[in-house]
Amino acid sequence: MSLSRTSYQYKAKLKDDTELQNALTDLTTKHVAIGFWQCCYRLWNKGYWWNHKRIYRVYTDMKLNIRRRAKRRLPERVKQPLEVPTGPNQVWSIDFMSDSLVDGRRYRLFNVIDDFNRESLAIEVDTSLPSLRVIRVLEKLINHRGIPTTIRCDNRPEFISHKLEQWCSEKDKPITLQFIQPGRPMQNAFIERKNGSIRRELLNAYLFYSLNEVREKCEEWRLDYNTERPHKSLGYLSPIKYQDDLLPKKRSD
């Protein structure tokens, strides 16, 4: 059969990679962010003799080449009562919404309201609204209305960003960020109620072909919401009418 005696008599020897597997497990458990070459150099510096090809074979067999995303743990959020402020600019609530255009492109809405009279302060629309864009919208509102005492929000990445926290702390009158508990949207009920109205009366009622159409309709809806739309929680007055009627009474008292 023209087969050499050596080839005929050869028997494969199973490689025992237990020691290497244990060493890689210990390394990646202790140092969760390191990659393949960091593992190689750490093993070699400890005196192990395996070459990089064997280490890589075992590394991929153990699925360590698939990047593992560590879960970001939030600090404990304390439940706080949802109280109605006694005046404007005491508490603002902020939140995001999302929807899509006719062609399938997704866009987001950043909503801001004043909890005192449920006035809609801003509806920012774009495909992306990172922390810096959130800060820019809030800065524009502060220049027009003044600095709020507290901003209530959920735990979205844009809100727990250190950029927003730093911006709040650097104000002449520092702003308190009040985070609701994860999975408890009713702790931010005022703006959730507004989100429901936007969804029902605007986003679900129209088809939008461009972001400019969304912006125009949102601004038109916001002005009507503030000046004309009766609110049951405000005694069927609009937010502006409610504020105008209430504040003179407080000043006379």
Averages of pLDDT over runs of 10 residues in the chain (253 residues) are 82 82 90 87 91 92 74 69 86 96 96 95 95 95 94 91 92 91 88 94 94 96 94 90 76 48
User: What's residue 73's pLDDT?
Assistant: 67
Task: Outline where 31-77 has alpha helix (H).
Answer: 36-45, 52-61
Place of tokens 């735990």: 155
d(CA 86, CA 136): 27
Rounded (10°) CA dihedral 14, 19, 25, 31: -130
Give residues with Cβ within 8 angstroms of 86, minimum separation 6: 116
d(CA 104, CA 209): 9
User: What's residue 178's pLDDT?
Assistant: 92
